[in-house]
Amino acid sequence: MIYLLLLIVKWLLIFIVTLVVVIAVGTWLFLKLAPTFGGRPDAETLARIKASKYFNGETFVNLVPTHATTLDIDDVTDGVSPEESNILKQFLFPPKGKNPSRPIASYRLGKPQAGAKQPTAHKLTLTTQPLAEGEFVWLGHSTVLFRLAGKTIITDPVFHRASPAPIGGKPFAMTHAPKVADLPFIDVVLISHDHYDHLDHKAIKQLMRQKKAGHFYAPLGVKAHLVLWGVPDTMISEFDWYEAMQIASVEPSQASATDALLTEDALRVVFTPTRHFSGRRIKGHRTTLWGSWVVQSATLNVYFSGDGGYSSEFANIGERYGPFDIAFMEDGAYNERWRDVHMLPEESAQAGFDLQAKVVLPIHWGKFDLSTHHWRDPVRRIKQAVAKGNTQVAVDKQIKLATPRVGEVFTLDKLPTEAWWEAES
């Protein structure tokens, strides 16, 4: 009997040790080989990175001193404070009401939108014109589809988990969640940085497989990820801060960031600084660049903030390239602990005024649980902050707030302003 028990214990220990080894080896292989982590820059990109005045020899550096991560590895290995413990608890066990309890009502892409309260449908297909000139549609988080100078443009196309693994980062449920299959051909794909909630490797592969992408515009170092995921390097242009490119009906060409005149079919894109960081692996943060985008046509001037903390650089960008007809402004995933790299809503509103924006579209909210705040808080707070800010500036400097549902097509002369989130539970 004793022998039998010892035998059972022996094989149980062998099983446990084998399981631990298999998990450890599998995790190591995943971290080393999984394509979602991206690639390594080639010699040409490395030379450009080393030549950048924003690169210190090891990493890229923000224009102002910045605590450039949200949660440090040291926080875990050195023990956690009560404040840190509460943050981790809210991530692992969200309190009731923090996230939507049912699918958020959104607009269907690709099918007629029925109902008297719904706007005219746009069939987002490859064979029909998806958007008219000057139309915009928010697809959730930081993904915005719009059309300028006869070109369809998308920012940070993300349609899957904001995580490298099949756990965490799951999007909130929506009645009609946008998919890559719903999209038209996209002439210009703008990438702000390589974090998972902004650079979705599955979406990039789907865009290429479905032949829906024309050209990618990305920060220095990000080309390696795109190439690994199937994008030819001839379809990628990499940018340092304040580098510009003019895009016409022919191949993109380098342009001065201060060129004044644009033809009817031309765009100018300028990659501008933000106060943030980058990285898709546990180590190696800040070895690819991050930033925001200015998109100019002959008729409209657009700003896409990417991610970042508040700084005086917004005012500088506003002076150099503003005023902006619309600014897509980060508004979510914030916390006092990491406000250096993610603005509070009040700071997002102030950044809108600094940029001289006429309209602000809050983005980076309503799709993922990436912080400790209630999912509605970002839009509630920025709405209050913009209203307060408008009382302190001249009428011609006031901001209008656009608050579309996901999938709702709008124009600048007919802005969606409904507080729809208050009806969601």
Q: Report yes or no on 366 lying in a domain.
A: yes
Question: 261 burial class (0-12, 13-18, 19+ CB within 10 angstroms)?
Answer: exposed
Q: Is residue 88 part of a domain?
A: no
Q: At what angle do helices 345-354 and 377-390 cross, to 10 degrees?
A: 40
pLDDT in tens, 367-412: 999 999 999 999 999 999 999 999 999 999 999 999 999 999 999 9
Q: Which of 225, 220, 168, 224 is nearest to 200 (CA)?
A: 225
312: pLDDT strictly greater than 80 = yes
Q: What is the pLDDT of residue 271?
A: 98
Distance CA(14)–CA(22), nearest Å, equals 12
* Tokens matching residue 300: 């409209």
The neighbouring-strand residues paired with 311 are: none
Token digits for 297? 């046509």
Nearest C-alpha neighbor of 310 from the set 353, 278, 279:
353
Q: Which residue has the higher pLDDT, 315 or 252?
A: 315
Neighbouring CB atoms inside 10 A of 338's CB total 17
Lowest-confidence pick of 2-6, 75-79, 131-135, 322-326: 75-79
Report how far residue 162's alpha carbon sits from residue 176's, in angstroms, rounded to the nearest whole number: 19
Cis peptide before 166 (omega within 30 of 0): no
What pLDDT score does 41 carry? 95
Residue 258 lies in a domain: yes
Give Rg (Cα) of the chain. Answer: 23
**Cβ–Cβ < 8 Å for 290, 66:** no
- Does residue 360 lie within any of the structural domains? yes
The three-state secondary structure class of 203 is helix
DSSP 8-state class, residue 209? H
How far apart, in whole angstroms, are the C-alpha atoms of residue 352 and residue 360? 7
pLDDT in tens, 176-233: 999 999 899 999 999 999 999 999 999 999 999 999 999 999 999 999 999 999 999 9
CA-CA distances (angstroms) from residue 351 to 309, 312, 338, 379, 416?
10, 9, 17, 15, 21
Tell me what pLDDT residue 298 has: 95
- pLDDT for the residue numbered 74: 44
> What are the backbone dihedrals phi and psi of residue 376, each rounded to the nearest 5 degrees, phi first?
-85, -20
Is position 129 within any domain?
no
* Domain presence at residue 27: no
User: Sign of the C-alpha dihedral, residues 219, 224, 227, 229?
Assistant: negative
β-pair type (326-330, 409-411): unpaired
Residue 58 CA to residue 73 CA, distance in Å, equals 19
**Nearest C-alpha neighbor of 243 from the set 265, 269, 266, 267:** 269
CB count in 10 Å sphere of residue 32: 9
Q: Is residue 75 part of a domain?
A: no
Indicate the number of domains in the chain: 1
- CA distances to 7, 230, 254 from 251, rounded to whole Å, are 72, 20, 10
Q: How far apart are CA 348 and CA 179, in angstroms?
A: 28
| Cβ partners under 8 Å of residue 209, min gap 6 | 230
What CATH number should be reported for the domain holding residue 202? Answer: 3.60.15.10
Q: CB of 154 within 8 A of CB of 131?
A: no
257 vs 134, higher pLDDT: 134
Residue 269 forms part of a structural domain:
yes
What mean pLDDT value characterizes the chain?
87
**What whole-number percentage of the chain has pLDDT above 90?**
71
Expressed as residue numbers, the domain containing 410 is 135-423
Distances (CA, A) of 144 to 185, 230, 240, 326: 14, 23, 22, 12
Query: Would you state the structure tokens that stand for residue 253, as one six-digit string?
Result: 């060409």
Q: Distance between terminal CA atoms of the chain? A: 60
Tens digits of per-residue pLDDT, 174-191?
999 999 998 999 999 999
